[in-house]
Amino acid sequence: MTAQAIPGFRDHSAQVNGQSIAYSRGGDGPPVLLLHGFPQTRAMWRGVAPLLARDFTVIAADLRGYGASSKPAGVEAISFRAMAADQAALMWHLGFSRYHVVGHDRGARTAHRLALDAGDGLLSLTLMDIVPTHLLLDQLTQGVAKDYYHWFFLAQPAPFPETLIGHDPDLFFERCLMGWGKATLDQFDADALAQFRAAWRDPDTIHAMCNDYRAAIAVDFDHDAADLGRRVGVPALVLYGADGPMARRYDVGATWGDRLARMRAQAIPGGHFFPDQSPGETAAALAGFLMKPGL
């Protein structure tokens, strides 16, 4: 029997924005949308979502191109703008006109784009372990290029990265999980890891994830350049791994100072994948903010 994406949650799929978006739902209270990053699925929230569900209605969704969601063709189809439109449509479909959004990694970049494109629907914005996409690419340093080499490898023309990754997907993606700050495989929930492996062994998922990174350079950079100077007005929380590459290379909170009008920042024990490594601390930081985001 296939394990639930998140223990105690019900798994669903919705047809929205021309896509099939897989999601899990649990809890009761103000709505919170959780968005995963690369190379994971919504199963990354297995340790966090049940704790939040004590006080909130929690929706954890797979981004288009990832997990059990649809995988449209083309680079522009995997832009953060397209991903964000899916998630806004999903929450509207579920009857939530206003909600909190929480994103990690690519999910955080999607959440930021959602705040820019459909911010009237948000109660708050939480970004986990990212600096702004435009800043990272426009002011690239040697250290960041070394840590985040995958941005440029995955963005190479198809089928070059797909072919190399497809030779041994577990080797490549598990190296990603362990390579960004103090993580070992035993720190990831075993059922979640099994679900990640099942997803990233699919050639269509590999191709879509490569298109995600191609879009960051070819599409998302220009979208973000057009929005330089805009500040998201809703209350915002920036969380980052205390031992992760972003914390080594940046003052993470400061990178968001000219983009988020009402922001607080906090380090969480662990590396880039601190929600997997420190789910209790992550859930506590989220709950404290979501209960009183305006303070």
Provide the token pair at 268.
Answer: 């969480």
100, 207, 272, 276: the active-site residue: 272
Q: 195: exposed, middle or buried (C-beta count within 10 Å: 0-12, 13-18, 19+)?
A: buried
| Beta-ladder partners of 262 | 235
Contact between 98 and 235 (Cβ < 8 Å): no
In the annotation, is 272 catalytic? yes
Q: Which is catalytic among the residues 105, 129, 189, 220? A: 105
Please say whether the beta carbons of 206 and 97 come within 8 A.
Answer: no
Q: How many CA atoms lie within 13 A of 118 on its CB side?
A: 23
What is residue 217's DSSP assignment?
I
Residue 227 annotated to the active site: no
Strand 31-35 relative to strand 99-104: parallel, antiparallel, unpaired? parallel
Show the tokens assigned to 13: 């799929």
- Distance separating alpha carbons of residues 72 and 67, to the nearest angstrom: 13
Contact, 212 vs 71, CB < 8 A? Answer: no
Give the three-class secondary structure for 270: coil
> What are the catalytic residues?
105, 272
